[in-house]
Structure 1
Amino acid sequence: MTDQNTNSAEFAEFEELSAGHAVRALSATEAQRFTELRVAHPEWEATARADATVAARLGEGVLPVEPPAAIRAQLLAQIAGSLQTTSQADDARADDIQTGGAASAAAPFSADAAAAPEEAHRRRSRRGRLFALAASLVLLGGIALGTVALTQYLTRPAAVVALDEVRAAPDAQSASVDAAGVAATAYWSAEKQKAVLVAEDLQPLSAQQSYELWFVREGVPISAGVFEVESGTTTALLDGDMHSGDVIAVTVEVAGGSPTGQPTSDPVIAIPTA
């Protein structure tokens, strides 16, 4: 009987450690104990595999992103605390059963038998709490991902927002050119009254220079603002209204744009829109 009780107690301990292991919530000491029990009782391996499967399913469909460190640490602390609280409750319950042995002997069933359903329920509740906390971590990761995506969307540059609007417009048009290794495309919409330039591999300038945009209308250049080069793809929104047939051009000027309001160099990009 003693061996049976010992075995039952070890299995209960193994179940709890298995759940903690599945959600990566064990301390180094607990992990070592779990390994010892796992080696000593290969017949319990099905429990460990089942717990690992449940934990893996919690993360299905959620990309692996790291939640905020403070909140993640708090949840893991709750998991660890749950392990400690349950262990303390077990010790207290064992003391109660031991001190109440005489009264229990007179009862129509033993204290161990009476405690069995309660013990099984406690273990199920314990494991359920662990997996619920693990699910919280997974959900937190999803929230973190959603927050990042939303932040990126809301903080898009004005030129990128305008490009999306122009492309979605029913009257959207575009024209492209290749010039000196730079692939450039102009997008415009009369309905949106916007024009956007997208250039690939445009070379950065020194701090003393700027790229300046122009609407060239019937041979007359009209400044449409300056812009900075971004790594890879540069998207620039032209200031002012575009007219049908305008040529969209880019020149290199002094920092901040041409001081005369007229181009001082030949265009490095010129895109006819007619």
Structure 2
Amino acid sequence: MNERDFADLAVGHALNALSEADERAYQEALAGNPHWGHHVRGAADAVAAISASVEPVEPPPSVRASLFARISELPQESAVASTSESFPPGDDEDFAAAGAAPVEPERETVSVGPSSASGSRPRRWFTLAASLAAVLILGFGAVTVSQLVSPPSSVVALRQIEDAPDAQSASTTLPDGTVATAHWSPSTGQSVLVTDGMPALAADKTYELWFVRGDTPIAAGTFEPDEAGRATAVLKGEMHAGDVIAVTIEPAGGSPDGTPSTAPVVAVATA
């Protein structure tokens, strides 16, 4: 199983939409590839955030009918052979009189190794269709399955750092209660600043990130916190050991000359 297949299954798992076979494949793949855990956390976090922020609504019956009609059109393995083996010729039991028997769902053969495109596609489409059904039934509105599978790049970077064996972090708390935490990992070559409580800025201002190396500030991108002052921002460029990660307030779009125009409002020492 490749990582893309696993990401699909992680969404289905978060929505409780996997078949028994896919759930088993998901668990086996996760056990064999623990570094894929960020897909699990991403799907779970997205589902939790969406369900907490949107009031459930009942989808129109036509939506449900249309969705399951599409699912029924997906390729299915023939059950003729298994039926003939289960009930050998000559069995005179009156099954019609006995009433309808429960129908066992079809189960596919599971492999956690590399799969062909033709073998993985039916499972992926079933997983995504089932996930979409759950999204509609739970009233998640306009949120799509692709949004669940693909969290923001800054969140992905943070999880990769946290999963790295050399992950490091440092925090600072400002007098107004703002908390800024720098996360970095030399092996991933990434650094991320996470903030909580950053004050809102005027429309013509933005926060800009800097690596301060000795006495030299190096621009590392801009970011905009949400209404609560929270942000997860990837620093652009290479961090060196001992750099101070700083934030200044600059004109919208960033410093026009590539140097800070104000004193830092945040400075996180990494050494």
Count of matched residue pairs = 163
Q: Which residue is 2:219 aligned to?
A: 223
Distance 1:266-1:69 versus aligned 2 partners, 3 A rule: farther
Moved runs in structure 1, 4+ residues, more than 4 A?
Answer: 61-69, 74-77, 117-121, 140-143, 146-150
Asked which structure has the greater CA Rg, the reply is 1
**Alignment TM-score, normalising by the size of structure 2:** 0.51
Q: Which residue is 2:232 aligned to?
A: 235
**Alignment TM-score, normalising by the size of structure 1:** 0.51
Given candidates 164, 167, 192, the residue that maps to 1:169 is 164
In structure 2, distance between residues paired with 1:75 and 1:271: 50
Q: Which residue is 2:134 aligned to?
A: 145
Given candidates 223, 241, 245, the residue that maps to 1:244 is 241
Unpaired runs of at least 5, structure 1: 1-60, 78-116, 130-139
Given candidates 255, 259, 270, the residue that maps to 1:258 is 255
Is the counterpart of residue 192 in structure 1 residue 188 in structure 2?
yes
Q: Is the 8 A contact 2:132 2:145 kept in 1?
A: no
Q: Displacement of 1:74 after TM fit?
A: 4.9
Q: Which residue is 1:159 aligned to?
A: 154
Q: In proportion to residue count, which structure has more helix?
A: 1
Unpaired runs of at least 5, structure 2: 1-15, 18-50, 70-93, 104-128, 137-142
Q: Is the 8 A contact 2:132 2:144 kept in 1?
A: no
In structure 2, distance between residues paired with 1:166 and 1:76: 40
In structure 2, distance between residues paired with 1:193 and 1:118: 66
Distance 1:254-1:75 versus aligned 2 partners, 3 A rule: closer
Q: Displacement of 1:273 after TM fit?
A: 0.1
Give the letter for the 1:192 counterpart: T
Distance 1:67-1:190 versus aligned 2 partners, 3 A rule: farther
Q: Is the 8 A contact 1:175 1:187 kept in 2?
A: yes
The sequence identity of aligned pairs, in percent, is: 47
Q: Is the 8 A contact 1:185 1:199 kept in 2?
A: yes
- Which of structures 1 and 2 has the larger relative contact order (alpha carbons within 8 angstroms, sep 6+)? 2
Q: Displacement of 1:141 after TM fit?
A: 6.2
Question: 1:144 is paired with a residue of what secondary structure?
Answer: helix
